[in-house]
Amino acid sequence: MENFWILIQTTILAGIGGTGLGGAIGALFKKDSNKTASLLLSFAAGVMTAIVCFDLIISAVETQTHVFAVSAGICLGVAVVYLLNFFIDRATNREVEHITANHPQTADDLDEIIHSNHLTVHINKHDNKFNLFVAGLIMACAIALHNVPEGMTIGASYANTKGIMEGSALILAVLIGLHNIPEGMAIAVPLINGGVKRGMAILITALSGAPTILGAMFGYWMGEIGPLGLALSLSFASGAMLYVVFGEILPQSILMYRSKLPAFFVIIGILAGLIVIYV
């Protein structure tokens, strides 16, 4: 039980702490550096890819679970996050259109991915409290789609290594915390520009990282069921994380800073992850 609470505390720092710090930075400067955020996201995406491919998936196969079951778990993780994103995007684009003939067929800024722009539009229109609540709920759901699988990778890795200071669990927690900083900035800046007070914007931003904790608990509990549960936990979390990395983080980092540098930072991140795993 003591180890479980260490996992929760670590995840709180990664989820709430990372997004909260990003929110505080956004509140202080009310702007962000696309280049810095892009390269940070690219590096984190590279390390996450290495940990998923060279650690979590391999650990899932080593539970003696059939490789087709592991592959099915990965596909399920990808499908669940994709479908949830698809339904949220389709529902919100009718109100706050951002996918048009003159816009890429994907979000090209983090505030669009997490739909904080949706809330900002309602604030600027001085909508009633119910509409603001619905817009805030949509934003919370969109953020949860990113943070739950991130938390699951921490929890599944923790269950696999039986310790937060061993294997990749701590590395993932640190990386996710760093990745959450630009995400927190992207949440806070449009909220403040939309009229939300700085203190409230920071609080909302910090609380948006809470779903990471739920993901960590779910990933850990699945991993504790037995070899099959651990394999499914590791593979599902890996699939969800792979979709978040390749479907959202990397496209966004490249769109934020149109250069070859993000690609190099991804490669550096993969090599850094490989070294950390095997050294």
| 107-141 pLDDT per residue, tens | 555 566 666 666 666 666 676 666 666 666 666 66
Provide the pLDDT for residue 239: 92
In the chain, count H helices and then E strands: 14, 0
Provide the pLDDT for residue 45: 86
Q: What global pTM score does this model have?
A: 0.73
Q: Residue 46's domain spans which residues?
A: 2-99+108-278
21 vs 164, more confident: 21
Provide the pLDDT for residue 104: 54
* Mean pLDDT value across residues 46-53: 88
Place 268 in a pLDDT band, splitting at 50, 70 and 90.
Answer: very high
**b/e map 198-215, b = 16+ CB within 10 Å:** beebbebbbbbbbbbbbb
Model confidence pLDDT, tens digit, residues 241-266? 898 888 878 887 887 788 888 899 99
Provide the pLDDT for residue 5: 77
Q: What is the mean pLDDT of the chain?
A: 77
* Mean pLDDT value across residues 225-244: 85
The percentage of the chain sitting over the pLDDT mark of 70, rounded to a whole number, equals 71
Q: How far apart are CA 156 and CA 43, in angstroms?
A: 22
Query: How many independent structural domains does the chain possess?
Result: 1
Of the ranges 20-34, 118-132, 261-275, which one carries the lowest mean pLDDT score?
118-132
Contact between 183 and 110 under an 8 Å Cβ cutoff? The reply is yes
32 has pLDDT over 70: no
Provide the pLDDT for residue 137: 63
* Mean pLDDT value across residues 197-215: 84
Provide the pLDDT for residue 166: 55
Contact between 189 and 30 under an 8 Å Cβ cutoff? The reply is yes
Provide the pLDDT for residue 63: 83
Place 62 in a pLDDT band, splitting at 50, 70 and 90.
Answer: confident
Provide the pLDDT for residue 71: 93
Model confidence pLDDT, tens digit, residues 147-163? 787 788 888 777 776 65
Q: How far apart are CA 235 and CA 75, in angstroms?
A: 8
Q: How far apart are CA 158 and CA 248, in angstroms?
A: 25
9 has pLDDT over 60: yes
